[in-house]
Structure 1
Amino acid sequence: MTGKRNSLVKCTDIKSMLFGSVLEVGDSVHLRGHTEALAVQRRKQLFYAGEGDLRSFSAFHKPIPLPPVYEPLTIKDKINDIPNIRVGNIHVITVSSASILHIGSTNHIAMEARVKHIRQISQTI
Structure 2
Amino acid sequence: MLQRTSYVTDLKVTTVSYSSVIQLGDSEIINGFSRAIAVQREEEVFYSDEGSFSAYPVFNKPIPFMPIREQLVQQTSHIFPVLKVKKIDILGISASSILHIGNSQNISLESRIKHIRQLRPR
Query: Contact between 1:16 and 1:94, CA under 8 Å: does it hold in 2?
Result: yes
Change (3 A) 1:11 1:120: same
What is the identity, as a one-letter code, of the residue corresponding to 1:22? V
Deviations 1:2-31 (A, max 9, x none): 43x221110111111111211112221111
Identity %: 37
Match of 1:7 in 2: 6
Match of 1:40 in 2: 39
Match of 2:19 in 1: 20
Query: Contact between 2:2 and 2:103, CA under 8 Å: does it hold in 1?
Result: no
Runs of 4+ in 1 over 4 A off after TM superposition: none
Distance in 2 (CA, whole Å) between partners of 1:107 and 1:30 is 6
Match of 1:31 in 2: 30
The two structures have a TM-score, normalised by structure 1, of 0.87
Alignment of 1:1-125 (within 5 A): 1-3=1-3, 5-76=4-75, 78=76, 80-123=78-121
Distance in 1 (CA, whole Å) between partners of 2:24 and 2:42 is 43
Distance in 1 (CA, whole Å) between partners of 2:104 and 2:2 is 10
In structure 1, runs of 5+ residues without a counterpart are none
Distance in 2 (CA, whole Å) between partners of 1:25 and 1:6 is 11
Q: How large is the RMSD of aligned CA atoms in angstroms?
A: 1.8
In structure 2, runs of 5+ residues without a counterpart are none
Query: Contact between 2:24 and 2:101, CA under 8 Å: does it hold in 1?
Result: yes
What is the identity, as a one-letter code, of the residue corresponding to 1:114? R
Shift of 1:87: 1.0
Shift of 1:108: 0.8
Distance in 2 (CA, whole Å) between partners of 1:15 and 1:54 is 30
Shift of 1:75: 4.9
Query: Contact between 1:2 and 1:79, CA under 8 Å: does it hold in 2?
Result: no
Distance in 2 (CA, whole Å) between partners of 1:111 and 1:2 is 21
